[in-house]
Structure 1
């Protein structure tokens, strides 16, 4: 199933979509207003989120399938983390931007992946909202990524993430990575969460990104998560080693869609990211 968070009269509601049908789970249980609420119930009941949702559907009201561009952040995430250099093209792109290119090749081939903190809840925006580019960065790019939704460190679902990055800042010195990655509106998530049991193989999903400016398409790229050199389970394992993640967290798994060198996001651009089986995450761009 797919799970969307929508706002009705300013109040959040959780909508479950099963094929061509959608149901208001909050109408069945008023305290279930986001995917993490559902995951919490499933954890207590030692069931999957889809099993819990299936029971609520029997009491829920049928509703229209949510508009992906108007949905809210689908999960009340406490922390967002991200993995880097998990695709060959990403490794090459970061070598090109950096004065220390060898370090990225070393990480790409190493046993230990690169993991870094990306965002808190108040730095995350949802579908239809504007992601941010830093005023003090001259080269800014989107990074479309498969996001792993974690509940107490266990994989419960998948979403789409945009890890917006200030490449000129990171390229000046790798020690500037936190400033290149963590700032206001630096991350978007959505449009929904797909339960883990609904995804046959997260390592075999088609991915596409387009960037539009002034009505013209400025970038288009396609790839697949099969190009990722690490598994989702491996990345989660390293994230949770000696590191207590909060109840609800998202781990972005890296990107293989990188706009050509010299392209930079501008305010007003529109970014569309599609991942097979999840949907489309759309955001505009603003300067922060």
Structure 2
């Protein structure tokens, strides 16, 4: 099942998409307005998200799939980020190409030599809800950066530290700032509109294998495709469980959080994002996350 957060005149509504259609769960149970509400209900019922949702389908209003389509004006789509609370964290250098890119951009490339093969993965804080946008909203590039790229990633959705679903994440990054000094990583990664997630959360029970999902990204400018490539999450050297364990161990994680698992899609070194560019990231069985770019 896929879970969407809908906006209706500023009021959140929770929808679920099954093989039979799209349903308004809030219409069936007004107390369920967000996915976080459903997490709580599943915990209380000692059940899974999908089982709780299935029991509500008979009383849920059927929605047209058209409500999931953006209206195209940049920041006013009907679908919001599927998670509205908690934190976003990220893992780095989980794919070989990511290690190569970090070494190529850095003035201190030896910093990255052992990360890919090390026992301990790189896990870092990425964003708060106020810095995170949803589908069809604008992601940011820093005005003090000369080299900026999107990083498409499979996102793991956690409730009380347990894996409950998967989403798509865009870990926006300033390669020029991080390249000057690895200690500048927080400034290269954490800023206004630095992250997008969505368009939905696919329940963990409905994903056969998170380590075998096709992922693709296109970047367009003025209608021209400048970048188009694909990969598979099977190329990730770490397992989802390993990354989650590193993130949650010895850490007071929030009740709800998202962990991005790294990227193996990296544009050429002569490419940088510009304001107005369109980024589209797709992951098999989840959907497509689209965002335009704005300077912040």
Partner of residue 195 from structure 1, selected from 197, 203, 214: 203
Classify the secondary structure of the residue corresponding to 1:32.
coil
Classify the secondary structure of the residue corresponding to 2:47.
coil
Q: How does 1:223-262 map to 2 (within 5 A)?
A: 223-262=231-270
| Structure 2 CA distance for aligned equivalents of residues 195 and 77 of structure 1 | 18
Q: Which sections of structure 2, spanning at least 5 residues, go unmatched? A: 71-76
Q: Give the structure-2-normalised TM-score.
A: 0.96
| Structure 1 CA distance for aligned equivalents of residues 170 and 193 of structure 2 | 10
Offset at 1:102? 2.1
| Structure 1 CA distance for aligned equivalents of residues 228 and 90 of structure 2 | 23
Report the more deviating stretch, 99-108 or 40-49. Answer: 99-108
Partner of residue 141 from structure 1, selected from 122, 135, 149: 149
| Structure 2 CA distance for aligned equivalents of residues 22 and 67 of structure 1 | 10
Offset at 1:68? 4.8
Q: How does 1:47-196 map to 2 (within 5 A)?
A: 47-65=47-65, 66-69=67-70, 70=77, 71-196=79-204
CA deviation vs aligned residue, 1:15-70 (integer Å, no higher than 9, x gap): 00002401100011112112121111111111000000001112111111242543
CA deviation vs aligned residue, 1:101-159 (integer Å, no higher than 9, x gap): 12212111100000000000000001111100000000000000000000010000000
Q: Tell me the equivalent position of 2:223.
A: 215
Classify the secondary structure of the residue corresponding to 2:85.
coil
Q: Tell me the equivalent position of 2:31.
A: 31
Offset at 1:77? 3.0
Count residues with an aligned counterpart: 288
CA contact (8 A) 1:119 1:186 kept: yes
CA contact (8 A) 1:77 1:250 kept: no
Mark the CA change 1:74 to 1:35 in structure 2 (over 3 Å): closer, same or farther: same
CA contact (8 A) 1:68 1:191 kept: no
CA contact (8 A) 1:151 1:247 kept: yes
Q: RMSD in angstroms over aligned alpha carbons?
A: 0.9
Q: Which sections of structure 1, spanning at least 5 residues, go unmatched? A: none
Classify the secondary structure of the residue corresponding to 1:108.
coil
Report the more deviating stretch, 25-34 or 268-277. Answer: 25-34
CA deviation vs aligned residue, 1:197-224 (integer Å, no higher than 9, x gap): 0000000000000000011000011001
Show structure 1 runs of 4+ deviating over 3 A: none
| Structure 2 CA distance for aligned equivalents of residues 143 and 20 of structure 1 | 33
Classify the secondary structure of the residue corresponding to 1:40.
helix
CA contact (8 A) 1:68 1:127 kept: no
